[in-house]
Structure 1
């Protein structure tokens, strides 16, 4: 490997390169302690910073920690050095499903099996409010037993990233697999667009060719928007009917994931494949996250969103991941990994108090400061007050993350207004008032 030791963090021994993209390379590796085969995605930090893909990288980490499923490539841990970011992931020995399809169409039973596993994996993502947005055979791997594994969550997004209209607006994906509403740029439902892509994958598996193809990209988009494709007469009628319902250019009338799984052709031979159980959250490390000497394997820590039993709202988690936890350690401060300047002021602290007590305390503080208090649909507390030194509004956001049932991490961040006013208020009013619920010293950024 160029400019890289053969052993990473004294734990993983590198082997041959499995593939590469513009900003990352993927290697086969072996866990020296257990002998387990894994793959390691090596991301060039400088390149990612240069093109502004930091948020996308952070989002990929957060999403992969949320979607633990037998048919999804598992993220074991995340590590970082000065120049590189490393994803230690499950190794799929069978390679890309694309390599099988490129040789020709698959037998109906085999194609159905892969489609079933794809649908089960994507449905699980949707149950976690995660949308993949780049489903295609190149992003579907096979393990040594021939089971499908969804990978590459680089373009994935959490529902909390939707606009006020409840839709996603970023045009992304691979042209031949993208849904017509994504191309239209009028906003789209992430779940419905994923279903469309699954339909294109099914067509490719059964026929060995794309339903929509044209050398002219605009002509290709026209065919997609009108769902202009020819289904081979050799395909069984029930398959053709299912494809027609999936490849419906109208997302409103397009078949839902639930209806796909109720389809008789889909269910045939499914057997135990549908009996996937949710994977429980990994146990938190016994040592405190904030003790001196925390090692980088704390990337294993999962952060689950806090659910307010009163408001039944979900605190958004798209901007929070293992790197944020690691950065709280004084010995391994990785805050510089994703922060290029000091534009944002924020404070993090932990508390052993119940979440409702934390919320009540924050509301009490806001009231004493004569600040307006609100909560968005994502469960984010928002404080607002007219700036004393300038003709503007001071906006403060408060997020609560549940590490365990009795251990919360709280982030207080200025989202708008004058930085001086925020710092003065934090120093003189908010921090002193919070001392009763803080279990570990506050850390500012």
Structure 2
């Protein structure tokens, strides 16, 4: 890299007043980026949606209504939605940045929970779900990735009001869906006969409570057809260490018939649940203005937020570097099948352009199609694995003038296949790697 290039001003990517950092989550419909409010210095998470995908699913009015509702509320167990912005092609949803990792990481690290600890988290989960349901907003996709912990160890449910993106409303007026992770999903959702958001959310809450107490899934099978049968018939058994009260409540929640399944009001009256329960006290409404939500969806330039893109690798500040350590990682590290990392990092003293060329050279013989944009790459395997095509995202960050950090992350596909791919990649990149993630954690964290 020339001296002139080294001294050129670094243009980081901005969206309005927010400076965007690394990607901290990725899904079918959205990407989540770490960001900083340049006016206040506050750290936030920004969910970025393609407008075309939102419009294509004919759910704009429902999504606008649900996002508007979520913007008006501030509940201690729900991730705060600060504001919504739109550009010509994207919707940007600015969310509270939750720093305590995922609830399920506690199970991966420590095993199943004691009953009183599990009950405390279940209290917080039901409080969040009850509050949002009372305002006509349903989650419809409660799963481990959506259960986060704040600095004080309190549960925060994310993505309320946003999961409508993966749903469709048909002529019968009911919701229909296709889901990637069926283990947490109610039988009526899997059978695709249309379903009520409230009862479906409660089933997922029951699965979550079972995992907290047992340390494993109530419904699991490597054969997908058999797994669907188990869920549809509610074929599960509670382990011997469950108390009779916990067993009774879980059986009432995991009732395959949504019409006889226990309701939230029934849960609030349940003897096991009521032990130590306190209703949350909080200021219910703060922001009464939802003009930004309507403006974000308008296709008019005067309503659009300005986007500026970086021309060099994003420089990483200390907070972002620390946020990559396990205690603050927002991404899902809980894999039911194997405790294998879904992302890894290394540092390099090579120029960014050389790192990209070397990754490209290493990935092509392994059968990957490569897309490049700035200092990011998307590698997709043309051969589908057992969980579809493996898709790997890489991004380069500048840590110092001559030091870069490279993040290699599984975006889609099987974690085992990702591990195999990374082992092959790291062998090819041995001349590029300066320090591995293990070395970095051993010295820096």
TM-score (norm 2): 0.59
Aligned residues: 291
Measured in 1, the distance between the counterparts of 2:145 and 2:115 equals: 20
Q: From the superposition, tell whether residues 43 and 58 of structure 1 become closer, same or farther in structure 2 (CA, over 3 Å).
A: farther
Deviations 1:221-271 (A, max 9, x none): 111111111211101110011001111111121111101011122122223
Shift of 1:131: 1.9
Measured in 2, the distance between the counterparts of 1:275 and 1:22 equals: 34
Shift of 1:26: 1.5
Is 1:203 equivalent to 2:206 in the alignment? no
SS of residue matched to 2:98: coil
Is 1:255 equivalent to 2:258 in the alignment? no
Shift of 1:212: 0.3
Measured in 2, the distance between the counterparts of 1:160 and 1:281 equals: 31
Q: From the superposition, tell whether residues 186 and 80 of structure 1 become closer, same or farther in structure 2 (CA, over 3 Å).
A: closer
Is 1:332 equivalent to 2:337 in the alignment? no
**Any conservation in 1 of the 2:86–2:304 contact (CA below 8 Å)?**
no
Deviations 1:86-143 (A, max 9, x none): 2211111012223223332122222112111111111112112222111112111111
Is 1:323 equivalent to 2:278 in the alignment? no
Alignment of 1:53-64 (within 5 A): 53=56, 55-56=58-59, 59-64=62-67
The structure with more radius of gyration = 1
Is 1:108 equivalent to 2:115 in the alignment? yes
Partner of 2:44: 38
Measured in 2, the distance between the counterparts of 1:22 and 1:133 equals: 15
Is 1:93 equivalent to 2:66 in the alignment? no
**Any conservation in 2 of the 1:211–1:230 contact (CA below 8 Å)?**
yes
Partner of 2:34: 28
Is 1:72 equivalent to 2:100 in the alignment? no
Measured in 2, the distance between the counterparts of 1:248 and 1:158 equals: 24
**Any conservation in 2 of the 1:167–1:188 contact (CA below 8 Å)?**
yes
SS of residue matched to 2:247: helix
Deviates more, 1:189-198 or 1:107-116: 107-116
Shift of 1:183: 2.2
Measured in 1, the distance between the counterparts of 2:193 and 2:289 equals: 42
Measured in 2, the distance between the counterparts of 1:260 and 1:172 equals: 26
Q: From the superposition, tell whether residues 184 and 45 of structure 1 become closer, same or farther in structure 2 (CA, over 3 Å).
A: closer
Is 1:82 equivalent to 2:88 in the alignment? yes
**Any conservation in 2 of the 1:129–1:158 contact (CA below 8 Å)?**
no
Shift of 1:53: 4.8
Q: From the superposition, tell whether residues 136 and 34 of structure 1 become closer, same or farther in structure 2 (CA, over 3 Å).
A: same
Measured in 2, the distance between the counterparts of 1:100 and 1:16 equals: 24
Q: From the superposition, tell whether residues 235 and 38 of structure 1 become closer, same or farther in structure 2 (CA, over 3 Å).
A: same
Partner of 1:142: 149
Of 135, 156, 159 in structure 1, the residue corresponding to residue 164 of structure 2 is 156
Superposed CA RMSD: 3.1
**Any conservation in 1 of the 2:203–2:254 contact (CA below 8 Å)?**
yes
Deviations 1:174-218 (A, max 9, x none): 311111122223332221111111000111111111000001111
**Any conservation in 2 of the 1:130–1:158 contact (CA below 8 Å)?**
no
**Any conservation in 1 of the 2:142–2:204 contact (CA below 8 Å)?**
yes
Shift of 1:70: 2.2
Measured in 2, the distance between the counterparts of 1:99 and 1:136 equals: 13
Partner of 2:7: none
Partner of 1:282: 287
Shift of 1:45: 4.6
**Any conservation in 1 of the 2:79–2:158 contact (CA below 8 Å)?**
yes
SS of residue matched to 2:235: coil
Measured in 1, the distance between the counterparts of 2:165 and 2:138 equals: 5
Partner of 1:411: none
Gaps of 5+ in 1: 286-297, 302-320, 335-445
Measured in 1, the distance between the counterparts of 2:67 and 2:276 equals: 29
Measured in 1, the distance between the counterparts of 2:304 and 2:47 equals: 22
TM-score (norm 1): 0.59
**Any conservation in 2 of the 1:140–1:151 contact (CA below 8 Å)?**
yes
Measured in 2, the distance between the counterparts of 1:162 and 1:23 equals: 20
Q: From the superposition, tell whether residues 6 and 250 of structure 1 become closer, same or farther in structure 2 (CA, over 3 Å).
A: same
**Any conservation in 1 of the 2:29–2:166 contact (CA below 8 Å)?**
no
Shift of 1:61: 4.8
